[in-house]
Amino acid sequence: MGPLLRAACGRLVGVDLSAGMCGKAVERGCYDLVEVGELVQWLQRQVEVRKEDGQGAGHHNQQQQEQQQKQQQEHQQAEGRGTQRQERQGGGSATRSETPTSSVRGALFDLLVAADVLVYIGDLEPLLGAAAAAAEPGALFALSTELLPEERPSPAPTSGSTSSPSSGGDGDGFGARGPGGYLLQPTGRYAHSPLYIASAGARAGWRVAALQTGVIRVNAGRPINGNLAVLERLGGGAAEPRG
């Protein structure tokens, strides 16, 4: 995914729970920053870093103003006594944004991509909320999920078949259903309904820009049906990330 996004991105960040996957991403050489971490917590941390940077920058500016005022007073006093006094130079440590890597941390994102990621997450609202808080108004969030079994297209029955058609998914049957439009399948992967994606996104500050269902991948020769969605971050203040 990284090489496909690189040409369209000024800065590209990759996050994964697996250190091995992060190592492979680093080897590709297309990311500005790759970090091991849980996605919701990582996004929430970006919001915290941005707040810390804003507070730190304000404190640093206040210190500079106080230093300049002090220098001016000392200079005026020296001139009044008929002496020359060299002005002292105010110093300060580099801010977080002055280093290339940390300039990515805490930044607002205008594009987020989660391809074959949400199949490991049931309740999407914490992620959608954290993503909204870390995204610019108008930012896009492209994502894929597997489709609920009852919403998958039923394959045509084969000749001579007397059994009912299967759901055509990655492991047929039902698992543990969540409270609102998602299901833990026997495969250990979650499936989500398009309506749930839209409603959960709306509650977190996203609107559906595009959404379609279809085959999202092939597993052991079997097509896996899913949702391909692009959400757009609504304008206004940043959403509060949900824990």
- pTM greater than 0.85 (yes/no): no
Note the pLDDT of residue 82.
44
Average pLDDT over residues 130-149: 96
| Domains parsed from the chain with CATH numbers | 108-154+165-243 (3.40.50.150)
- Say yes or no to pLDDT of 207 above 90: yes
- How many Cα atoms are found within 13 Å in the side-chain-facing hemisphere of 198? 9
- Say yes or no to pLDDT of 44 above 90: yes
Residue type, 29: G
- Say yes or no to pLDDT of 59 above 80: no
Average pLDDT over residues 15-33: 94
CA distance 51 to 159: 64
- Say yes or no to pLDDT of 71 above 90: no
Average pLDDT over residues 209-219: 94
Q: What is the pLDDT of residues 147-200, one digit of tens each?
A: 998 776 655 544 444 333 333 334 443 445 555 699 999 999 999 999 999 999
CA distance 172 to 243: 32
CA distance 210 to 158: 34
Among residues 45, 29, 21, 11, the alpha carbon closest in space to that of 243 is found at 45
- 147: helix, coil or strand? strand
Q: What is the pLDDT of residues 117-129, one digit of tens each?
A: 999 999 999 999 9
Helix (H) or strand (E) holding 208: strand 206-219
